[in-house]
Structure 1
């Protein structure tokens, strides 16, 4: 008995005794259904990745196209902002080609043309409607000495400069009637036969005109100088000029 009690006492101290349990993991062999599910999952993932890549590429391409379009728009704006302008220089041509005006050119000196304004048949042609500044100068070299044959002739020396306009709204091109746009008349001196006037020789004078006008497409501008004054026109760069620029 003592031996049994002693044995029971040991068992109580060590706690309850449970039967040992062994867990065995069994790997299930993949079936055909499992394989199809796995393939489907991988295919879906591949499609998602491809879609994401395509969307990213398309977005970048679209951004590039928009940037390109914006650049083209900016370039067109810069090109469109090139103001229409023309500046002509001229001299009297005694060949008789033009009997009441200077012969103009945009090929010498400071002459140029841009933005659609052009020189045609010695006239400036307006390309499109808008506000334009029109200007013109004619330089003269005249004498205030009276003609010895007419000593009592007290004629005043007048200089004039005119810019005229023709517009399609005026009527037929077959019979063009020009209207005065700018005009200036200047009295230079009074002819005299005394020695003081004779010693003064010839006088240099420039007649300038300029103003802003609303012009229409197809309008034509020309200059007019009295025939008697043409031989007295000065020559050289910057003395006679005619121009227009858009505002």
Structure 2
């Protein structure tokens, strides 16, 4: 009888299948790459924001500089235009302004208030003329006529002109006359009177101490004047007039 020996494996059962499971081992190199990639993206974003902010601030600065330059230029142009306009107006203005000068009475002349246009701030332009102490109107139109007479009156008893029985000066006056050349008519345009050296409760002693009375008569109004009309003034108390520093003047300007 034959003997049989068992084999290590059943032949019929076939080869035993072996299953191998592959486990992926985490790589430190891949993890670092992701971190660096994220940081790179953040850096790009920050750089973009910084670049945008830089260009925005630069654009805003350039815009403000441009606006400031434009505003400065506009202001300069406006000033130039204003000066040009004033210069044009002054060059085309028709006006005359005279300052008074007191001429004392002599054997050959009478005491009078003499008007001058070639001294101080006095001038004449636009066709106005001063002839025989009278202003000649250049053309028909509306004009503003004005004049002022300033007085410094001594109220002592030593003066004789214009005093009342008590030895006090009573009044000063100033008037503007017009002579219409076309009609041959003389008329008064304006006039005013001021009482001087009044004796009152507080003034009597002052006047006795030699203190004076100071005042001015101003006249001014609009009139329609004709070409060739003549204007002049009439003032009393010439010796009491103050003519220095432009205190007494006479003028006309066209409207």
**Equivalences for residues 83-94 of structure 1 within 5 A:** 83-94=93-104
Q: In the alignment, does 2:186 pair up with 1:178?
A: yes
Alpha-carbon offset, residue 98 of structure 1: 6.5
Name which of 169, 189, 201 aligns with 2:197.
189
1:117 & 1:141 partners in 2: Cα distance?
31
**Equivalences for residues 1-247 of structure 1 within 5 A:** 82-96=92-106, 99=110, 101-147=112-158, 153=166, 155=168, 157-171=170-184, 178-190=186-198, 195-199=205-209, 201-226=211-236, 229-247=237-255
Structure-2-length-normalised TM-score:
0.57
Poorly superposed stretches of 4+, deviation over 4 Å: 78-81, 95-98, 147-152, 191-194
- SS at 1:237's partner residue? helix
Alpha-carbon offset, residue 203 of structure 1: 1.8
1:217 & 1:80 partners in 2: Cα distance?
22
Contact 2:174 2:235 in 1 (8 A): yes
1:101 & 1:223 partners in 2: Cα distance?
10
Alpha-carbon offset, residue 186 of structure 1: 1.1
Alpha-carbon offset, residue 188 of structure 1: 2.6
Structure 1: 5+ residue stretches without partners:
1-77, 172-176
Distance 1:83 1:99, change over 3 A: same
Structure-1-length-normalised TM-score:
0.58
For the aligned residue pairs, the C-alpha RMSD in angstroms reads 3.0
Distance 1:205 1:81, change over 3 A: same
Q: Which has the higher contact order (CA 8 A, sep 6+)?
A: 1
Number of aligned pairs? 163
Contact 2:174 2:234 in 1 (8 A): yes
Structure 2: 5+ residue stretches without partners:
1-87
Pick the structure with greater CA Rg.
2
